[in-house]
Amino acid sequence: MKLTTYAQIGALLLASTTAFADSHEAASEEDAQLMIVEAALAGGDAAAGEKIFKKCKACHMIGEGAKARTGPALNNVVGAEIGDFEGFKYSAGMVALAEADEIWTIENLNALLIKPRDFVAKTKMSFAGLKDEQDRADLIAYLAGFTTVEADD
């Protein structure tokens, strides 16, 4: 059952690779391809991730028409430049990561989700973190499914 899910995510990401690479300056097509492999390796289940995303909904929107709330909207965030949501007032710690041209790779997203405060100095994201590795993998697989949604700008 899970294998089907990975295959579906992989196919979805593969189909959107070109559009994905086009919509983010820093993410080349090769980067996007690599992330598809990483997402599959991480063993995430997007359907399970949707349930975990409830913990994020207090502050984040995702999907069609998503806008910034307490936190930025999370469409296309997998593979995007860190701190790149236009008009959002990020913390100094996020701005520093953005200036260092850091990317939301699977690895960086995982690190953020373990404990936001450890990944971003004095972050404005007041969220304790997700201790469970499978929860993080599922959530990242869910986020990766939103690489095809048109940006609002």
- How far apart are the C-alpha atoms of 148 and 104, rounded to whole Å? 16
- How far apart are the C-alpha atoms of 136 and 39, rounded to whole Å? 11
User: Residue 35 CB, nearest distance to ligand HEC (Å)?
Assistant: 14
Report residue 23 as tokens: 């919509």
Binding-residue total with ligand HEC (CB under 6 A): 28
Pick from 126, 150, 151, 152 the residue near ligand HEC by CB under 6 A: 126
How many other C-beta atoms can be found within 10 angstroms of the C-beta atom of residue 102? Answer: 16
User: Residue 39 CB, nearest distance to ligand HEC (Å)?
Assistant: 14
74 vs 137 by CB, closer to ligand HEC:
74
Pick from 44, 49, 71, 79 the residue near ligand HEC by CB under 6 A: 71
User: Residue 43 CB, nearest distance to ligand HEC (Å)?
Assistant: 17
For residue 71, the one-letter residue type is G
Site string for ligand HEC, 75-114 (x = CB under 6 A): --x----xxxx----xx-xx-----------------xx-
Residues with Cβ within 8 Å of residue 23, at least 6 apart in sequence? 76, 151
Residues with Cβ within 8 Å of residue 75, at least 6 apart in sequence? 62, 63, 66, 146, 147, 149, 151
Given the rule CB under 6 A, which residues bind ligand HEC?
Answer: 55-56, 58-60, 70-72, 74, 77, 82-85, 90-91, 93-94, 112-113, 120, 123-127, 130, 139
